[in-house]
Amino acid sequence: MLLSIICEFFIFMNGAVDLIKEIEKGQFLLILLEEEACMDKIAEIAKSMARTEKKLCYVCLSKPYMDVANDLRNRGIDVKKSHFIDVLSSHYGKRRPTDNCTFLDSPTDLADIRVAISNAIKEKKCSVVVFDTISTMLIYQETSKIVRFTHDFLSEERERNKILYLVLKHDSIPVEESERLLSDLKMFADRTINFNKKSDI
């Protein structure tokens, strides 16, 4: 296991981990990132998706849509090519309606999030779903509920050959809770890619 992670890390350092290729395989990936690397990696994915004409569904769990969209715009990415699900802005009363974002009332309603993603896949034709980040859900939900949510989501979407992609990082969550979540999610994940230099997972 450790050898595998070291290998992955060095492959990454050589620029050889082709995230897009992994996503193309239609797998459920767990990506471990440091906070500062998170937006770079998401921008990289968004750029590549734009080239392949695939549409990204970005679930904003850590930052509101406006912040994420501004960040991506500053990196030269056309945010109109992605669909966003924002669970934070309404909660904090900072919602500004836009065509490419679904605003949900609360970050705690997993059923609502599930329906919004389903609609993004069906109606907006999104084929890649990015959770930024699944760890952040631990602020609102207990581990077992997130695992069940993920499992139910995967059962439905993987059957339809939809491509899934989850981002997981540790920084703002107690390490123990994050490790528990990660260990359970790994039971369903096709691959875990570790970009987190500090982690020994």
Query: Which residue ranges make up the site for other proteins (CB under 8 A)?
Result: 28, 142-145, 147-148, 151, 154-155, 158, 180, 183-184, 186-192
Which positions ≥6 away from 38 have C-beta within 8 Å?
132, 133, 167, 169
- Least Å distance, CB 75 to other proteins, is 32
Instruction: Write down the least CB distance from residue 46 to other proteins, Å.
Output: 26
To other proteins, the closest distance from the beta carbon of 195 in angstroms equals 18
Residues in a beta bridge with 194: 32
At closest approach, how far in Å is the CB of 40 from other proteins? 26
What tokens were used for 32? 């471990």
Q: Which of 170, 167, 183, 175 is nearest to 30 (CA)?
A: 167
Give the position of tokens 């590549």.
Answer: 48
Six-digit token string for 22: 């992994």
Judged by beta carbon, residue 91 or residue 151, the one nearer other proteins is 151
Report the DSSP beta bridge partners of residue 55.
126
Closer residue to other proteins, CB minimum distance, 58 or 165: 165
- Which residue, 31 or 60, is less far from other proteins as judged by CB? 31
Q: Which residue's CB is nearer to other proteins, number 5 or number 50?
A: 5
If you count them, how many residues does the chain have? 201
